[in-house]
Structure 1
Amino acid sequence: MKSYRADYVFSINADPIKNGIVTVDEFGKILSIGNQPAHSDAPIEQLSGILCPGFINTHCHLELSHLKNKIAKGGGLVEFIKQVQQHRNVDPAEAAEAALKADAEMYENGIVAVGDISNSSLTIEIKANSKLHYHTFVELFTFLPQNAKSAFDNGLELLKQFKPQSVSIVPHAPYSVSKELFKLIREYSDTHANLLSIHNQECEDENKLYRYKTGKFLDLYDGFGIDISYFKPQARNSLQTIIPLLSNKQKILLVHNTCTNLKDIYFIKRFDRIINWCFCPGANIYIEGHLPKTELFIEQGFNITLGTDSLASNTGLDLLAEMKLLQDQVPSLTLNKLLQWGTINGAEYLGIDDEKGTLEVGKTPGLNLITGLDGFKITADTKLKRIA
């Protein structure tokens, strides 16, 4: 049993506690939280800074960790996709070693749970032995209607390999999934527990493809030898087109949202979908050079979470750094709100809020110490240390 006193304790589900004390057992389970330790005679370690729960990273690609520093910044999404395909295939041992290091990096950065995209079985053993909780999204893609059934069947086979780990099958993105494949995923999601996630509007070319059948994706398909002559322009943005194709029985995570606008947000409110938004600002800057219009989403009544994306598209797997980018963009964002996005919101989406996301007696949420704040503002000097 250990007790820690900090300048403030952010439990997330209640107001910050000044000079708060958190007591945990040897397994990290919270025994007490408040201004008194669990036992009056127990020693208390004094810490400078704030204590908060461990972070929840709802979007990562662990199996792409070997691509760190191999893809140029700022080239845009289409060029990024080309470079990922060019550099992706390496010795599996090299890819596994990089993924293992990335898993350890997230642990050191105070992350306790991850929603992770997988296209292969590479990370099964790593996740089985990790200190982190993982939910794996087996990602399906083909834009060719005739290949939908084989892509879906292959996804089910990979899903079986990941079980009994927490796992679901999901569509990759509007520009890489045909209506036929969307239909198969929806039918499965309507009858199985199948948490959903999809890359959404990472670049304006995605909207151009759906509205007018123009833009850089046409060159990408041509370069990959994919004939999309069947595809007709939809006269509306990609999000507005694919929302009706997603199940209303499952929680849905829309990831990136770099070019999502207010009309898109209002449009999805017309449908009975369980929408969550995930922002990955570091990756947005790395790939497209700009952030989503974050302020548009804040008061819309949706659950907002945070992700790091992969080391192919980011310089690190650090949710505190992601919070700093968002705070710089929207100075009115409070630390408490950012921590909420990075903890309980992600835990609720992943369905693990009974264990993680808030500092409450009986939970094992992890315990992070954040120092170097300017009041309650994240600065260049702000650092994180994992306590439990």
Structure 2
Amino acid sequence: MADAVTYTARWVFPVSHPPLDRGTITVEGTTITAVEPHGTRTPDVDLGNVAIIPGLVNCHTHLDLSGARGKIPPTDPEHFTDWLRGVIAYRRTRSPDDVQADIRVGLAECLRFGTTLLGDITAGGASWYAVVAAEVRATLFWEVIGLDAATYRSRVQEYWSTCVDLWNGPHKPPGTMWRWALSPHATYSVNHAEALPQLARGNNAIHLAESPGEIELLTHRSGPFVLFLTELGVWNESAITAQLDDFVQSWPRARRPRLYIHGNYLPTNTPLDYSQTIVYCPRTHAAFGHPRHPFREFQDRGVRVAFGTDSLASNPDLDLLAEARFVHSIRPEVPCDELLRMATLTGADALGWADETGSLDVGKSADFVALPVANRDAADPHELIFGEDFPTADRQTMFRGQWRN
């Protein structure tokens, strides 16, 4: 049994409980064994003027687009399909080796900023090789695209057969640090009759209500996506059979949370329930100039909302905490403790990992970030994390009881 080590810092933010001024967190092996107020036990290590927060949870990435930073400028909302054309053109320039290099770059950036759990949309399972070798938990959402029913079924079958091969292959990693899931890509790129049953099984993700053109397609079967898909030679009107609400209906068979990525144009009365999550990507949302995101209206209804970064094709970096800080800057009425929860425990819950990580609780994995904070007092200690004067010094991240290099 590994020796127990007790850490202290200026503030400890369990997230599941109120912050602890000079609190302590005790780690034994890979596990948190105590989280206590100041004076309960003598610390072994004082981390100084930092906040200890749970490891960050990035619910939505496209690691394979990490080489596109600055190369595909976001458009305005009405021309979103022009941006998609740019993404497709970019992907056609990348060799398999290029894609693997891009994935490693994006993953390293996530880890450097303190991400300990992520959800990656992966084309053909490409990110598996890098993710399973890294110090991170992950849900890998295998992206499925196909308006033609036979094409869609074929790609789902590819998912199942490849997952079995990877799981049983010689490079299978130890432990249970990652999981597979499906991502029917978006309402405009999948056969509705085939994709809706996949959504009914839970544990999946779909891009939904990302642009006004998508709403026009679902409502009227017209608009920019018809031209876009026709240009690609894949337009199939018979595949587009559902309305927006059909994608969010609750099915009794759903076993795990479903993720609805973006939700920029979701009506606030959309019938979401406890098993479903909106993943809000704040800086990507702002880069496209979308109207104010309705996440607070959904939270007021009890709907879970977590954060993602999206990809470096639409975001300057993959710093999940920067997403929360950006929201604080544009929506200062949102409580800071809620923003921190959205960046940690809510995200872990959304991805189905809340029993293992997402908060600093006894029995959970010792995943946390030592975050430099401003050298001042604050009535609400969360302001030390989200205030404009936060230091830019490097963060230290512990994953499963070991500090990352």
TM-score category (smaller protein): 0.7 to 0.9
Q: Deviations over 1:306-354 (max 9, x none)?
A: 1111112211111111001222232122221111111111222222222
- Structure 2 residue 101 is matched with structure 1 residue 100: no
Decide whether aligned partners of structure 1 residues 161 and 115 sit closer, same or farther in structure 2, where only a CA change above 3 A counts: farther
Residue 46 (structure 1) shift: 4.5
Corresponding residue for 1:136? 140
Corresponding residue for 1:210? 218
Residue 220 (structure 1) shift: 0.5
Corresponding residue for 1:299? 300
Residue pairs, 1:1-388, within 5 angstroms: 1-25=4-28, 27=29, 29-36=31-38, 40=42, 42-76=43-77, 77-89=80-92, 90-163=94-167, 165-183=178-196, 185-186=198-199, 189=201, 195-230=203-238, 238-244=243-249, 248-264=254-270, 267-268=271-272, 274-372=275-373, 375=378, 376-377=382-383, 378-382=386-390, 383=392, 385-388=395-398
1:336 partner amino acid? D
Structure 2 contact 34–362 (Cα < 8 Å) conserved: yes
Structure 2 contact 191–240 (Cα < 8 Å) conserved: no
TM-score (normalizing by structure 2):
0.84
Decide whether aligned partners of structure 1 residues 231 and 112 sit closer, same or farther in structure 2, where only a CA change above 3 A counts: closer
Aligned equivalents of 1:132 and 1:120: distance in 2?
20
Decide whether aligned partners of structure 1 residues 110 and 138 sit closer, same or farther in structure 2, where only a CA change above 3 A counts: same
Q: Identity over the aligned pairs, expressed in percent?
A: 22
Decide whether aligned partners of structure 1 residues 228 and 349 sit closer, same or farther in structure 2, where only a CA change above 3 A counts: same
Structure 2: gaps of 5 or more residues: 173-177, 399-405
Q: Deviations over 1:126-179 (max 9, x none)?
A: 112110111111111212335332232233233334436510223111111112
Aligned equivalents of 1:302 and 1:251: distance in 2?
12
Decide whether aligned partners of structure 1 residues 204 and 299 sit closer, same or farther in structure 2, where only a CA change above 3 A counts: same
Greater Cα offset, 371-380 or 52-61:
371-380
Structure 1 contact 159–169 (Cα < 8 Å) conserved: no
Greater Cα offset, 374-383 or 80-89:
374-383
Matched residue of 1:104: which SS?
helix
Aligned equivalents of 2:352 and 2:240: distance in 1?
38
Matched residue of 1:114: which SS?
strand
Matched residue of 1:121: which SS?
coil
Decide whether aligned partners of structure 1 residues 12 and 222 sit closer, same or farther in structure 2, where only a CA change above 3 A counts: same
Aligned equivalents of 2:39 and 2:239: distance in 1?
64
Structure 1 contact 152–184 (Cα < 8 Å) conserved: no
Residue 183 (structure 1) shift: 4.5
Aligned length: 373
Matched residue of 1:222: which SS?
helix
Matched residue of 2:188: which SS?
helix
1:83 partner amino acid? G
Residue 291 (structure 1) shift: 4.5
1:96 partner amino acid? Q
Aligned equivalents of 1:39 and 1:250: distance in 2?
39
RMSD: 2.6
Matched residue of 2:238: which SS?
coil
TM-score (normalizing by structure 1):
0.87
Matched residue of 2:143: which SS?
strand
Corresponding residue for 2:403? none
Structure 1 contact 138–159 (Cα < 8 Å) conserved: no
Greater Cα offset, 315-324 or 151-160:
151-160
